[in-house]
Amino acid sequence: MKKIDLLQAPFVQEMIETTTNLYRLGWDERNGGNISYLLQEEELAPFLDLTKVIREIPMIFDASALAGRYFIVTGSGKYFKNVAKAPDNCLGIVRIKPDGKTLEVLWGLSEDGLPTSELPSHFMSHIERLKIDPEHRIVMHNHATHLLAMTFTHELTERALTRTLWQMCTECLVVFPEGVGIIPWIVPGTNEIGEATATKMQDFRLVVWPHHGIYGAGKDMDEVFGLIETAEKAAEVYTYVMAQGGVKQTITDQQLHALAKGFGVTPREGYLA
Ligand code: 2HA
Ligand code: ZN
C-alpha cells in the first residue's frame, strides 16, 4: 500500500515545533537537549513500511522492558535549531529489538547518525513512568535557564526547591503537586545518570540535574512542555524576586493548602506545614 509522506505525520510535526520552540526559548543551545516520544504501531503504519530496517545500533544497557516499542528521538549531536530544516538528519524513528540491547532504525538519523547520547536516561525513565502511568509517552530534557541557575544559588533539597517554586507562581502547585526530584551531579550520557533519573521518575515527573538542566515526563507534548515551562517560569520569577531584593511576602502554606483543595490536587506529603 502507498505510504503517506512521513513529514506530514502529526508526531513529526510535533517534534519539529517543539524543538524549534525550545531553541527559541534559549533552553537548547548547540546540541543541548533531547526528546523521545513513544509511538504506537498504528500511528506509524500509514507512513512507514515497518518491515524495512535501515540499520541496527547496539545499546550499552538493557531496554528489554521496551522490546518491540517504537520511538521518535532526537539525534546525538544534533542542534534543535536545525530540526525544522533537516528533520530526517536530526530525528530518527527506532524500534527496540527483543534482546533489549539493539535498536532498529526505521527512518531518519541519516549519515549514520545515532540517537540522543542521553538514551539511557530516556529509556530507563520511560520504563519507570510506564509502570505508573499507562498513558505515559514522552521524556524531554533541556537546559531551562533559570532552573539551571537556581541549582547554584538555592538549597538543593527536593522539599526546599519545590516549596520555592510552588510559592513563585500560584499555578505551580496545581501543575506539579508531587514536586520536583533532584539527582546528584553525575556525568551525562551514562547508565549511572540514567538509573538515578529513572529512580526519581518513580515519584516525580520533573527531575532536576544540578548544574545541567531538567527532565520532564508525561503523556503528550503539551503536557511535558507545559510542565517544564511552568517550573521554569517560577524559576525566572524567583530570579527577579532575588534581584529585586528578596522575598518580603509570599503565598502561605495555609493558602497553598486551600489552593490544593480548590483544584483537587494532593501536595507531596510533608512539603507544606
Ligand atoms: O544532548 O543535553 O545532556 C545534549 C545534552 C546532554
Ligand atoms: Zn543536557
This prediction's pTM: 0.97
> Ligand 1 pocket test: which of 35, 117, 193 has the largest number of ligand atoms within 8 Å of its C-beta?
117
Q: Are residues 72 and 124 in the same domain?
A: no
* CB 118 less than 6 A from any atom of ligand 1: yes
* CB 34 less than 6 A from any atom of ligand 1: yes
Strands (E), the chain: 34-39, 55-58, 70-74, 91-96, 102-108, 138-142, 181-182, 206-209, 213-218
- The model's pLDDT over 74-118, given as tens digits with 9 standing for 90+, comes to 999 999 999 999 999 999 999 999 999 999 999 999 999 999 999
Domain end marker among 116, 140, 156: 116
Domain that holds residue 61: 1-116
Residue 114's φ and ψ, nearest 5 degrees, are -115, 155
Distance from C-alpha of 11 to C-alpha of 199, rounded to nearest angstrom: 27
Q: Are residues 174 and 101 in the same domain?
A: no
* CB 142 less than 6 A from any atom of ligand 1: no
pLDDT at 196: 98
Low-confidence stretches of the chain (pLDDT beneath 70): none
Q: Give me the helices (H) in 154-220, please.
A: 158-168, 172-175, 191-200
Q: Are residues 218 and 242 in the same domain?
A: yes
In this structure, what CATH number is given to the domain that contains residue 39? 3.40.225.10
pLDDT at 1: 76
Q: Are residues 65 and 176 in the same domain?
A: no
Q: Are residues 37 and 152 in the same domain?
A: no
Number of domains the chain contains: 2
pLDDT at 218: 98
Contacts of residue 49, Cβ cutoff 8 Å, sequence gap at least 6: 3
Instruction: For residue 55, give the 3-state DSSP assignment.
Output: strand
Q: Are residues 125 and 10 in the same domain?
A: no
Q: Are residues 130 and 246 in the same domain?
A: yes
Instruction: For residue 171, give the 3-state DSSP assignment.
Output: coil
